[in-house]
A and B are shown apart, each in its own frame.
Chain A
Amino acid sequence: MTVLVIAEHDNASIKGATLNTVTAAAACASGDVHVLVAGHNAAEAAKAAAHIAGVAKVLHAEGEQFAHGLAENVAAQVLAIAGDYSHILFPATAGGKNVAPRVAAKLDVAQISDITKVDAADTFERPIYAGNAIAIVQSADKVKVLTVRTTAFDPAATSGGSAAVETANAVAANAKSRFVGQEIAQNDRPELTAAKIIVSGGRALGSSEKFQEVMTPLADKLGAAIGASRAAVDAGYAPNDLQVGQTGKIVAPQLYIAAGISGAIQHLAGMKDSKVIVAINKDPEAPIFSVADYGLEADLFQAVPELVKAL
């Protein structure tokens, strides 16, 4: 039983989420792990994929239609090669979630989202109800289409592999969908989902200026990524892509510092697998204290600058 991983990449390099997905793929079956790199001028990404430990073969589909990862085009490419595989895995990123269900529906199989554990080749664990319950599900379908919660699996090593890169016949573009443009937030911090330390701010910050003024020095000092609660994002204090929670990013860093975040169920769903959680909040009743390893009952406008100084 051979397993296929759909790589997340930016054409020049492989994104971290792919590495965790390779680890999950190796747990699914005893067979080889193949990686599909569908991209535009993506030879470098394919080469990088070939070096991932545990990868037996890289399939490289080249074409302008894959430049922006449009779901219609990527799904068609996956379907063109799907016949040989028992499992098809995508990272549970915005890209993977967009494409995987299209592939599953065309194969007439159920898709299993956001798996956190592989119990057997056909049995997987996944969180439901914002992480308040874990479902163990068994699939009777001949092909298992899965998306992988990347924080639940260790990343595979980026070196040590020596897979052959094979060219896959590129499937033509679907004309019904076109890429127009993008606005990618400029950010030289560690990527939120891969960061070892995350400092996260909530509504209590009060404004986007205050958010920057208070959270940035702390993040700089710790080399941390910045996150935010939905309340802070909705209020415009932080950009959308920083949102941590059920409907935003799911993170599991070594250290998560929540400042001025009350700890709604939906936020906890995105961060409660962090190794150490620190809560800074002036409300002693805030639910965040029930999951925090270390709680500091204090005004964040005093405590956070003090913390920066003490580090």
Chain B
Amino acid sequence: MKVLVPVKRVVDYNVKVRVKSDNTGVDIANVKMSMNPFDEIAVEEAVRLKEKGIATEVIAVSCGVQQCQETLRTAMAIGADRAILVQTDEELQPLAVAKLLNALVAKEQPGLVILGKQAIDDDANQTGQMLAALADLPQATFASKVEVADGKAQVTREVDGGLETLSIDLPAVVTTDLRLNEPRYVTLPNIMKAKKKPLDTVTPADLGVDVAPRLKTLKVTEPPKRSAGVKVPDVATLVQKLKTEAKVI
């Protein structure tokens, strides 16, 4: 079966972003960009399924600006076989991405779509679920373990309070949690090989999808700052301050 892995190019997770002074957004000019960490886990899981002989082909997909090609090359260096870029300069929101992916699911007919559970820029945690709804596929979100056999996936999910296991019929949509796996490092020879792998570019119009944003961002502001605290010299002072000053114990 084919596995489709959507990946997103986001501001690197180590970067502390700054809000623009005109409050129109965060300043991402000249900031290091990387693959969304949850998507790396998704690519790794797909490649492991291929190494086990369960997946026959791993297709990485990214939606966005031309530079997303770099993210797709990274996915192919991890082990994806080919890539599709849905290129647009428009702002893409999760519903639009889910529709684009739905169009690709219809075209490629993958047995499994593996996405990250959320992107660390918009923190939405929506695209996988939306894709599952649009494609009318079962979903298993926040996966920490995936086992594929007999046309079904048995997925262990991280839920509030512990773990839950579901059995879903394939084709299906799975979104990854942090503990699903440890993504491998890409090696130089694999980066070189990835450059030769096929990368197709399509546009939202080719897929017949209207990607106009539904939500308008009126303003982006700094979160309220915490006032500077104090350092206390010892435990006794700490307890005394918590009791008399902060009055929390």
Which residues does A use to contact B, with CB under 8 Å?
68, 70-72, 75, 93-95, 97-106, 108-114, 123, 127-141, 174-185, 187, 193, 197, 222, 230, 233-234, 239-241, 246-247, 249, 254-255, 265-266, 272, 275-278, 289, 291-298, 303, 306-307, 310-311
Contact = CB atoms under 8 A, between A and B. Distances in A.
A230 B120 CA distance: 15
A131 B221 CA distance: 11
A310 B242 CA distance: 12
A128 B122 contact: yes
Contacts of A106: 133-134
Given A72-B138, A102-B139, A137-B218, A295 B231 contact: yes
Interface of B: 11, 13-14, 16-17, 19, 26, 38, 93-95, 98, 117-118, 120-134, 137-142, 144, 154, 157-169, 172, 177-179, 213-223, 226, 229-232, 234-236, 238-239, 241-242, 246, 248-249
A130 B123 contact: yes
A298 B122 CA distance: 37
Given A138-B215, A139-B215, 16 more contacts: A102-B139, A105-B133, A111-B94, A128-B121, A132-B16, A132-B17, A133-B17, A136-B218, A230-B178, A239-B162, A241-B159, A247-B38, A254-B248, A296-B238, A310-B236, A311-B239
Contacts, number: 254
Q: Which 4 A-B pairs have the closest CB atoms?
A: A101-B129, A110-B214, A105-B130, A101-B126
Contacts of A193: 160
A75 B239 contact: no
Given A176-B169, A294-B230, A185 B161 contact: yes
Contacts of B38: 247
B123 A136 contact: no
29 contacts: A68-B164, A94-B159, A98-B139, A102-B130, A102-B133, A102-B139, A105-B131, A109-B214, A110-B214, A111-B124, A113-B126, A127-B223, A128-B121, A128-B220, A133-B220, A133-B221, A135-B217, A137-B216, A138-B217, A139-B216, A176-B172, A179-B164, A182-B165, A184-B161, A241-B158, A275-B246, A293-B230, A294-B238, A310-B239
B246 A255 contact: yes
Main secondary structure of the interface of B (DSSP, over half): mixed
B98 A105 contact: yes
Contacts of B17: 129, 132-133
A140 B214 contact: yes
B123 A129 contact: yes
B139 A178 contact: no
A125 B138 CA distance: 31
B141 A98 contact: yes
A184 B162 contact: yes
Contacts of B238: 278, 294, 296, 307
A222 B26 contact: no
A294 B232 contact: yes
Contacts of B223: 127, 131-134, 272
Given A72-B139, A294-B242, A307-B238, A134 B164 contact: no
Contacts of A297: 231
Nearest to B129: A101
Nearest to B226: A291
A289 B235 contact: no
B164 A136 contact: no
B26 A134 contact: no
B215 A137 contact: yes
Given A72-B138, A113-B124, A105 B95 contact: yes
A106 B198 CA distance: 34
A99 B130 CA distance: 9
B13 A71 contact: no
Contact of B123 (A93, A114, A185, A222): A114
Interface-central residue, A112, A233, A247, A307, by most chain B CB under 10 Å: A247
Given A94-B159, A113-B124, A240-B158, A134 B221 contact: yes
A296 B232 contact: yes
